Amino acid sequence: MQLWLCCALLVFVAGGCLAQKPRPCKSPPLLEGSFSAVTQNGGYSAYGKYAYDSILQRIRFGEVVRHDNETFFTDVLMIYQEHVMYLINHKNKTCQKQELATQFHPMKIPCNATFLGQVVLGSLSAPGEGLLVNSWTGETAEEKSKYFLTFTEFGCLPVSVLFNRPETGWVVTNFFNIVRGIKDPSVFIPPPFCNTTLETGEKGDFFSAFF
Amino acid sequence: MQLWLCCALLVFVAGGCLAQKPRPCKSPPLLEGSFSAVTQNGGYSAYGKYAYDSILQRIRFGEVVRHDNETFFTDVLMIYQEHVMYLINHKNKTCQKQELATQFHPMKIPCNATFLGQVVLGSLSAPGEGLLVNSWTGETAEEKSKYFLTFTEFGCLPVSVLFNRPETGWVVTNFFNIVRGIKDPSVFIPPPFCNTTLETGEKGDFFSAFF
């Protein structure tokens, strides 16, 4: 009996020790939030809001983009299960329907990412003054682009994403005002004027919509 | 009597409403923490620790710097009340004593900064998953350099500082692992081998030590 108790305690303690090192995690399946993005060369910056549904693989985001001293608004709905992407123009009440050329990437730390460290943004000296986050690095499988990810320890929520693209150098995306759940699920349904959709025959992906 | 009560209530409610908008704040007087800094052109990056005492106007920081593919270590003690700065070399046990050419700038949001917005890093959907921060912008009085400051709402602790320098473009400094108070106050006393100090006659400031 004592031996069993010892073994059970040993497993418990070992499990506790192993659990000390953060492990790659996956964000909650339904999220809404805001983001800002800026490229290293300063040629592109954006500020927007998004809704994210990893269960039905749908993303909707609207952003104000400043690119080469021009400012414009982009509204995009991506439905990965149907392999379609809608570029919605509310002013003209038109849609551009494109084929989604890439797979859905859930918001997560890839399993092969390297753990860089755990830090507190702000301080744990008093309640409400700090946020525990983990930083990870790695390379994307497809483009061999280097990335740095910072996600919260509790909740696995994105705080900042840096990735390197040959065209623009480093792209820094900051995430904030995240809410679990989707306030209005109809954001994932194309607006009525998208029935008379303009099919362009073009292929698009997350980056072609984003940049 | 009732009129007085009404007036008092009105002032109280008005005060409450005015208090909703964040106001420029000052960080606690004694802090320790870590930071990372990187320039837009990527030519300079640093990672280090600092101790900050705004009461006696002293700053000590040690950092590992990568500059043009060279890596070196810097240890600096700045005593503003005495207008001196020590560049400490632990390997050779030598000091360079320089005159501090600038005034002490406490860690704070300048009174003339423009409030940009309040956001939550992470989420307030669950405890421990979010941090409320305020962002501010403005121009430095001396150099007319633009800056963006993000400080915590509770505690007025620095999270990130961006400022523009003509030499390097944007410099992004992130602060983390902040602790209120000073663990070891002797960090503000020059090491014993600084008695035989090498007085260079050079003038230095925070930036000449930092970069």
Question: pLDDT digit string (tens) for B118-173?
Answer: 999 999 999 999 999 999 999 987 778 899 999 999 999 999 999 988 777 889 99
Report the DSSP pairing between strands A169-180 and A198-204.
unpaired
- What's the confidence (pLDDT) of residue A4? 52
Distance CA B160, CA B121 (A): 12
Say if the Cβ atoms of A123 and B180 lie within 8 Å: yes
Binned at pLDDT 50, 70 and 90, residue B117 comes out as: very high
Residue A102: Cβ within 10 Å count? 16
Say if the Cβ atoms of B178 and A130 lie within 8 Å: yes
Kindly give, in sequence order, each residue whose CB lies less than 8 Å from that of residue B191, ignoring residues fewer than 6 positions away: B88, B90, B95
Q: What tokens were used for A44?
A: 């592109």
Architecture of the domain defined by A30-204: Clam (2.50)
Beta carbons of B57 and B79 less than 8 angstroms apart: yes
Q: What does the pLDDT average to over B86-111?
A: 91
Give the CA-trace dihedral at A4, A7, A8, A11, to 10 degrees: -170
The interface predicted TM-score of the complex, written ipTM, equals: 0.84
Assess A62–B contact: CB distance below 8 Å, yes or no. no
Distance CA A38, CA A45 (A): 4
User: In chain A, pLDDT over 90 holds for what percent of residues?
Assistant: 65
The structure's pTM equals 0.85
Assess A157–B contact: CB distance below 8 Å, yes or no. yes
pLDDT at A5 > cutoff 90: no
Q: What tokens were used for B94?
A: 């030598």
Say if the Cβ atoms of A154 and B121 lie within 8 Å: no
Distance CA A177, CA B40 (A): 26
Which among B28, B27, B59 is positioned nearest to B187, based on CA atoms? B59
Say how many CB pairs under 8 Å bridge A and B: 100
Dihedral sign from CA coordinates of B117, B120, B124, B125: positive
User: In chain B, pLDDT over 90 holds for what percent of residues?
Assistant: 64
**Residue A98, CB-side half-sphere exposure with 13 Å CA sphere:** 18
Assess B128–A contact: CB distance below 8 Å, yes or no. yes
Residue B82: Cβ within 10 Å count? 11
Instruction: Report the residue of B129, B133, B150 to disrupt the A interface, i.e. the one with the largest count of A CBs within 10 Å.
Output: B129
Give the DSSP letter of residue B105: -
Assess A107–B contact: CB distance below 8 Å, yes or no. no
Binned at pLDDT 50, 70 and 90, residue B102 comes out as: confident
- Residue type (1 letter), A94: T
Size of chain B in residues: 211
The better pLDDT of the pair B25, A13 is held by: B25
- What's the confidence (pLDDT) of residue A210? 61
**Which residues partner with A106 through β-bridges?**
none
- What's the confidence (pLDDT) of residue A78? 96
Give the range among A9-23, A177-191, B22-36 with minimum mean pLDDT.
A9-23
Binned at pLDDT 50, 70 and 90, residue A46 comes out as: very high
The better pLDDT of the pair B105, B41 is held by: B105
Kindly give, in sequence order, each residue whose CB lies less than 8 Å from that of residue A9, ignoring residues fewer than 6 positions away: none
**Which residues partner with A112 through β-bridges?**
none
Q: What CA–CA distances, in Å, run from A160 to A62, A148, A175, B48? A: 19, 8, 6, 20
Which among A157, A199, A143 is positioned nearest to A32, based on CA atoms? A157
Q: What does the pLDDT average to over A12-18?
A: 44
Q: Sheet harboring A70-79: ordered strands across? A: A114-122, A130-139, A146-152, A158-165, A169-180, A30-39, A44-53, A58-67, A70-79, A84-89, A94-100, A198-204
Q: Which helix (H) or strand (E) holds B123?
A: none
pLDDT at B7 > cutoff 80: no
Average pLDDT, chain A: 87
Assess B74–A contact: CB distance below 8 Å, yes or no. no
Q: Which helix (H) or strand (E) holds A208?
A: helix A206-210
Q: What does the pLDDT average to over B86-112?
A: 91
By C-alpha distance, the chain B residue nearest A150 is B122
Residue B79 Cα to chain centre, angstroms:
15
Which among A64, A61, A104 is positioned nearest to A86, based on CA atoms? A61
Say if the Cβ atoms of A125 and B179 lie within 8 Å: yes
- What's the confidence (pLDDT) of residue B211? 60
pLDDT at B179 > cutoff 90: yes
Q: What does the pLDDT average to over A127-148?
A: 92
Kindly give, in sequence order, each residue whose CB lies less than 8 Å from that of residue B8, ignoring residues fewer than 6 positions away: none
Distance CA B95, CA B86 (A): 6
- The CA distance from B90 to the nearest CA of chain A, in Å, is 27
Q: Which among A120, A133, A179 has the least Cβ separation from residue B123?
A: A179
The better pLDDT of the pair B54, B209 is held by: B54
Beta carbons of B43 and B65 less than 8 angstroms apart: no
Binned at pLDDT 50, 70 and 90, residue B115 comes out as: very high
pLDDT, tens digit, for every residue of A149-196? Answer: 999 999 999 999 999 887 778 899 999 999 999 999 999 999 998 876
Assess B125–A contact: CB distance below 8 Å, yes or no. yes
pLDDT at A200 > cutoff 80: no
- What's the confidence (pLDDT) of residue B19? 54
- What's the confidence (pLDDT) of residue B166? 78
Q: Where along chain B do its domains lie?
A: 30-204
The better pLDDT of the pair B19, B67 is held by: B67
Assess A122–B contact: CB distance below 8 Å, yes or no. yes
- What's the confidence (pLDDT) of residue A7? 45
- What's the confidence (pLDDT) of residue A141? 80
**Residue A201, CB-side half-sphere exposure with 13 Å CA sphere:** 0
Size of chain A in residues: 211
The better pLDDT of the pair A14, A130 is held by: A130
Beta carbons of A53 and A29 less than 8 angstroms apart: yes
Kindly give, in sequence order, each residue whose CB lies less than 8 Å from that of residue A49, ignoring residues fewer than 6 positions away: A32, A33, A34, A35, A61, A62, A63
pLDDT at B8 > cutoff 70: no
Q: Which residues of B touch A170 (CB under 8 A)?
A: 42
pLDDT, tens digit, for every residue of A72-107? Answer: 999 999 999 999 999 999 888 889 999 998 899 999
Q: Which residues of B touch A40 (CB under 8 A)?
A: 40, 42
